[in-house]
A and B are shown apart, each in its own frame.
Chain A
Amino acid sequence: MKTLRTLGLGLILAVSGLFISLLFMGQYTLSSATFENFITQNNITSSVFIKDLEQSVVDKEFSTPFYLANTIAEAVESANTYHKANKEWAQVIWTKPHSLAYQMVKSSGTGIVVQNKRRLWFLSFGLGILGALLFMLPALNLKGPPGIKNNHIFHSSATNRGWIAWLVFTFLILFYLVLYFRPSYMVNWIYLVDPISESLSGNPASQWFLYGFLYCVIMTVMAVRMYIKYRHNKYQTLRTTSVLFFQIVFAFLIPEILVRFEKPWYDFKNAFPLDYDFFFRWNLNELLDSGGFGLFILVWGIALTLVIVPVMVYFFGKRWYCSWVCGCGGLAETLGDPYRQLSSKSLLSWKVERWLVHGVLVFALLMTGLTLYGYFAGTYEVLGIKVQTLQDVYGFLIGSIFAGVIGTGFYPIFGNRVWCRFGCPLAAYMGVIQRFKSRFRITTNGGQCISCGNCSTYCEQGIDVRAYAQKGENIVRASCVGCGVCSAVCPRGVLKLENGPEEGRIGSSNILLGNEMNLMDQLQDK
């Protein structure tokens, strides 16, 4: 058993090495034919840009994608500076420099990686999955019979902010930075999933396809870990299955297949305002141009946010979304599960959380309000603010940095729900409903709490569950995502997530805590 585990770890390390060295492999030549094709297809009229690249790049061979990408991006920028100075607006290239660079680099790869996509896929993804499974499966035996086995979590440098955690942190941050801002640097990874992308949507893979695919793979592998860890707990295994299903089918397969049938890419479970660009001009136009189906998506998207979400939160709490459906939640509950104990439980964090998460909600609503006003009024500027600028700022700060780089990158240091707790505008919206109008609560079992603190320690949302439980009070908190782990780890059977009548939902069971006299006193005091 231990040997299998070591073997698995060895494979994981070897595959990580391979993934990193892959970045530096292959050759890149932007042939004149491809280049001309690209220029015509993308309507690029900047003679400066074309001349520049023809001299510096076209038909030359590069041994890494980095230099090529940077040269192209710089060419875009210097051409634009020139055209803008000369007020030649028609020649300015509006595509973002590194998006354009990515597209060119993607079509210029030659050599080992491009020629061995499937083989390398197997060596990297395939062996990686195998390694991870070999590493995890022995837990079935090594960690003893089913039950809560949190042994040594705070002794391990991977799960207690030790050097492994910092290493993973660095890797994740770099990954997200490259993904969002320099996709061409990871073009070799993207090549590997081309065959899969082609079989689904008919198109070669983009960085987003790679991300989606990786997301599904990681969630699946880490879900296996959840199944092992919580094999005694049906709530946990069912909700893991549920998030996995929604990720693979709704967020990954259906959108790709829609594209194959020339319909807009759409994730049916992704509700506004988490799906912050739903009301952006380009999206509305695309939907309206796609006939009946586009219209259906439009109506569905609006109904999802205005009707389905609140009604479901009323009956089941926001957990129906955050812990059973959502993709961000799905990753947090699988890849992020080993890090849930790192969330801060201090009162200060709670204060910061409330300001931040509601701040993002207000920002998202303002941005959307202005966007829609601009859309219907047919203007690009509202109240002297360029709608586009506002969207770019939101997309950059919230969409990329907060949700991605910080949201996932910070898992090993600040816990697995940093985004869900501090940033997600949809969570903020559902939280308000959950707090004030919902049947969901975590019931505290009378006076059974021994204040041990397991619940608070393992609450990924940083809720001090114990503070309520030891007073015999139910937990009714806006931020609770209903993961059910507090209930699972409680050694005294104190906590139960349930939906019940609103009456007496918060109620404390003082009578069981203290003196029976007490209750009489309290009644008289009132």
Chain B
Amino acid sequence: MEHIAIIGNGISGITAARHIRKLSHKKITVISSETDYFFSRTALMYVYMGHMKFKHTQPYEDWFWEKNNIALKNGFVTQIDTSQKTLVFSDGEQLEFDKLIIATGSKPNKFGWPGQDLKGVVSLYHKQDLDAIETFAPNNSVCKHAVIVGGGLIGVELAEMFHSRHIPVTFLVREQSYWNAILPSGESQMITNEIRKNGINLRLESNLKHINADANGRVKSIVIAETGEEIDCDIVGLTAGVSPNIGFLESSGIETNRGVLVDRNLQTNIKDIYAIGDCAEQRNAVEGRRPIEAVWYTGRIMGETVAQTICKKETQYTPGHWFNSAKFFDIEYQTYGWVNSEQHLKPNEAHFHWMHPDHNKCLTIAFDKTTQKFLGINTFGIRMRHEVFNRWLDQNQSIDYVLEHLQIAHFDPEFYTTYYHDVLKKFNSEHNRNLKLKKKSWSQIFTLKS
């Protein structure tokens, strides 16, 4: 029986394993040095905040794996012998495979800051990071002040975590406004305010210079590069992005760049060895997308795709239209298609932006200046229907069409106020148009089957 070994029990590795099991009776071994069972790292913050126990982050009960004949192995792979098709573990143990899937995910970036390996310097990626945060910041008497370096999505999550335990936070962000390389300015400004409103000391245009230690080699303070200012703290969270976790591949002969290089079938330069999820890098990026996409959904899609290739027939990775979501304190964010920040605006990309007077809800629609084609939407504080936007993107709908049919894409809970009349009013006055909102209709919402 063919033996499929999978390194990594994150969403991509586990999805691959589950789908291979669905499609075949092949022998499957999933390897990880992090935890025995698959868990959702997206939920790590909720464990620290007390919304959930760690057990709740595990989507499958413990009996699931044995019942589905998926072998789990706890161990760290140090080497891959591609010619002998053998994995070597840190304890010297070896494991032979017929096909290998590398799904080792990411690791947090460290940019060589002096003091970055001191006790009390943490990041937020692995289960072990959560344990470290719990040790160094159990409450606000042990941890009187926290500093977070790097303003991405994980940085905000970490800020919210410390905030939940009433630990004062200083949040250093390189940009002039939070996440403004990704978000258009109105939105970036709104989230900047939201972070501050929650009592986080957000320091824009600030970089870390170095981290100082006390006599015991523990974090004592940090120094800001721009101002030379020293800030006392008991914990430093480094959240300046992630990069593929592929150090162990160095001498394996598997071609890498920033990530493991793969073709559209997710195969590496070596036959029968595949890479998926955060650690995979497309040799030629899928049209309109980045070569490495470290998000949950793409890991899941790649897992499904590679299972098809291994069990049925060569299948190309075709992720469809981009979508994503996040939450910044109390403001939910969803995006469908592409809305670029001013810095990265595509030629011909124009934006229509609407902001609620309370500054806690807004939306931005990107469209093509000349063809009026709808390119994408960002919504904050308003939930939208994925299915509907996916369809509109498929159908190359115009911005007019999208605006007039926003009711159909509405996904907030029942009885919530809708704002689409306001949105249209603003658009009409800005563009001198007379668009009218169409009524919600079930048949249009659920046309997927017909």
Q: Which residues of A contact B (CB under 8 A)?
A: 144-148, 150-156, 232-235, 238, 346-347, 443, 445-448, 450-454, 456-457, 466-467, 470, 484, 487-489, 491-493, 496-498, 500-501, 503-504, 507, 509, 511-518, 521
| B446 touching A500, Cβ below 8 Å | yes
Chain B residues 51 to 79 lying within 8 A of chain A, measured CB to CB, are 51-53, 56-59, 61
Chain A residues positioned under 8 Å from B316 (CB to CB): 515, 517
Q: Kindly state the separation between the CA atoms of A137 and B447 in the bound complex, as whole angstroms.
A: 46
Q: Kindly state the separation between the CA atoms of A467 and B64 in the bound complex, as whole angstroms.
A: 13
One of B38-46, B183-191, B255-263 at the interface: B38-46
Nearest CB in chain B: distance from A344 CB, A: 11
Chain B residues positioned under 8 Å from A452 (CB to CB): 40, 42-43, 46, 57
| A518 touching B304, Cβ below 8 Å | yes
Chain B residues 408 to 450 lying within 8 A of chain A, measured CB to CB, are 411-417, 442-443, 445-446, 448-449
Q: Kindly state the separation between the CA atoms of A511 and B412 in the bound complex, as whole angstroms.
A: 22
Nearest CB in chain A: distance from B41 CB, A: 9
Q: Kindly state the separation between the CA atoms of A150 and B47 in the bound complex, as whole angstroms.
A: 11
B169 at interface by CB-CB < 8 Å = no
Nearest CB in chain A: distance from B309 CB, A: 10
Q: Kindly state the separation between the CA atoms of A456 and B58 in the bound complex, as whole angstroms.
A: 11
Chain A residues positioned under 8 Å from B387 (CB to CB): 445-446, 509, 512
Q: What is the number of contacts between chain A and chain B, taking CB atoms within 8 Å? A: 178
| B40 touching A491, Cβ below 8 Å | no
B319 at interface by CB-CB < 8 Å = yes
Chain B residues positioned under 8 Å from A487 (CB to CB): 413
| B449 touching A445, Cβ below 8 Å | no
Q: Kindly state the separation between the CA atoms of A450 and B52 in the bound complex, as whole angstroms.
A: 15
The 9 closest A-B pairs by CB, nearest first: A446-B386, A147-B330, A493-B383, A452-B43, A152-B50, A234-B415, A514-B304, A155-B50, A150-B51
Chain B residues 272 to 331 lying within 8 A of chain A, measured CB to CB, are 296-297, 300-301, 304-305, 308, 312, 315-320, 323, 325-327, 329-330
B144 at interface by CB-CB < 8 Å = no
Among A152, A232, A515, chain B packs the most CB atoms within 10 A around the CB of A515
Nearest neighbor of A233 in chain B, beta-carbon distance: B413
Known: A152-B49, A515-B308, A518-B304. A496 touches B56 (CB 8 A): no
Chain B residues positioned under 8 Å from A450 (CB to CB): 40, 42-43, 296, 325
Nearest CB in chain B: distance from A510 CB, A: 9
Nearest neighbor of B389 in chain A, beta-carbon distance: A446
| B300 touching A513, Cβ below 8 Å | yes
Q: Kindly state the separation between the CA atoms of A451 and B386 in the bound complex, as whole angstroms.
A: 17
Chain B residues positioned under 8 Å from A509 (CB to CB): 386-387, 448
Q: Kindly state the separation between the CA atoms of A467 and B40 in the bound complex, as whole angstroms.
A: 13
| B413 touching A497, Cβ below 8 Å | yes
| A467 touching B59, Cβ below 8 Å | yes
Q: Kindly state the separation between the CA atoms of A498 and B412 in the bound complex, as whole angstroms.
A: 10
| A493 touching B442, Cβ below 8 Å | no
Partner of A513, one of B51, B304, B411, B416: B304
| A511 touching B320, Cβ below 8 Å | yes
B174 at interface by CB-CB < 8 Å = no
Nearest CB in chain A: distance from B376 CB, A: 15
Chain B residues positioned under 8 Å from A492 (CB to CB): 325-327, 332, 334
B385 at interface by CB-CB < 8 Å = yes
Chain A residues positioned under 8 Å from B320 (CB to CB): 511-512, 515-516
**Residues of B in contact, count (CB < 8 Å):** 59
Chain B residues positioned under 8 Å from A238 (CB to CB): 415
Partner of A454, one of B46, B304, B390, B413: B46
Chain A residues positioned under 8 Å from B304 (CB to CB): 513-515, 518
Nearest neighbor of B315 in chain A, beta-carbon distance: A517
Q: Kindly state the separation between the CA atoms of A456 and B57 in the bound complex, as whole angstroms.
A: 10
Chain A residues positioned under 8 Å from B308 (CB to CB): 515, 517-518, 521
Chain A residues positioned under 8 Å from B329 (CB to CB): 145, 147
| A466 touching B446, Cβ below 8 Å | no
| A153 touching B50, Cβ below 8 Å | yes
Known: A151-B49, A500-B446. A447 touches B386 (CB 8 A): yes
Nearest neighbor of B388 in chain A, beta-carbon distance: A446
Q: Kindly state the separation between the CA atoms of A151 and B50 in the bound complex, as whole angstroms.
A: 5
Q: Kindly state the separation between the CA atoms of A496 and B417 in the bound complex, as whole angstroms.
A: 15
Chain B residues positioned under 8 Å from A516 (CB to CB): 318, 320
Nearest neighbor of B38 in chain A, beta-carbon distance: A451
Chain A residues positioned under 8 Å from B24 (CB to CB): none
| B332 touching A491, Cβ below 8 Å | yes
- 17 A-B residue pairings within 8 Å (CB atoms): A145-B329, A155-B50, A234-B416, A234-B417, A446-B386, A447-B386, A451-B43, A452-B46, A453-B58, A467-B59, A470-B59, A493-B384, A497-B414, A511-B448, A515-B304, A518-B305, A521-B315
Known: A448-B386, A500-B445, A504-B448. A514 touches B301 (CB 8 A): yes
Q: Kindly state the separation between the CA atoms of A440 and B312 in the bound complex, as whole angstroms.
A: 37
| B449 touching A154, Cβ below 8 Å | no
Q: Kindly state the separation between the CA atoms of A448 and B319 in the bound complex, as whole angstroms.
A: 14
| A496 touching B411, Cβ below 8 Å | yes
Known: A150-B50, A507-B449, A514-B301. A488 touches B413 (CB 8 A): yes
Chain A residues positioned under 8 Å from B49 (CB to CB): 150-152
Chain A residues positioned under 8 Å from B164 (CB to CB): 151-152
Partner of A447, one of B56, B315, B323: B323
Chain B residues positioned under 8 Å from A456 (CB to CB): 56
Chain A residues positioned under 8 Å from B334 (CB to CB): 448, 492-493
Nearest CB in chain A: distance from B271 CB, A: 21
Chain B residues positioned under 8 Å from A443 (CB to CB): 411
Q: Kindly state the separation between the CA atoms of A103 and B382 in the bound complex, as whole angstroms.
A: 59
Q: Kindly state the separation between the CA atoms of A427 and B309 in the bound complex, as whole angstroms.
A: 46
Q: Kindly state the separation between the CA atoms of A446 and B297 in the bound complex, as whole angstroms.
A: 11
| A515 touching B442, Cβ below 8 Å | no
Known: A235-B413, A347-B61. A515 touches B319 (CB 8 A): yes
Chain A residues positioned under 8 Å from B297 (CB to CB): 447-448
Interface membership of chain B positions 196-216, coded 1 if the CB is closer than 8 angstroms to chain A and 0 otherwise = 011000000000000000000
B11 at interface by CB-CB < 8 Å = yes
Chain A residues positioned under 8 Å from B416 (CB to CB): 234-235
| A515 touching B317, Cβ below 8 Å | yes
Q: Kindly state the separation between the CA atoms of A453 and B315 in the bound complex, as whole angstroms.
A: 31
Chain A residues positioned under 8 Å from B61 (CB to CB): 346-347
Among A238, A445, A454, chain B packs the most CB atoms within 10 A around the CB of A445
Among A512, A514, A521, chain B packs the most CB atoms within 10 A around the CB of A514
Nearest CB in chain B: distance from A158 CB, A: 12
Known: A146-B330, A447-B323, A521-B308. A457 touches B51 (CB 8 A): yes
| A515 touching B57, Cβ below 8 Å | no
Beyond the given pairs A234-B414, A512-B320, A515-B315, 14 more chain A to chain B contacts, judged by CB atoms under 8 angstroms and listed by A's residue number, are A148-B330, A445-B386, A448-B297, A451-B296, A453-B40, A454-B43, A457-B52, A466-B59, A500-B442, A501-B443, A512-B323, A515-B308, A516-B320, A517-B305
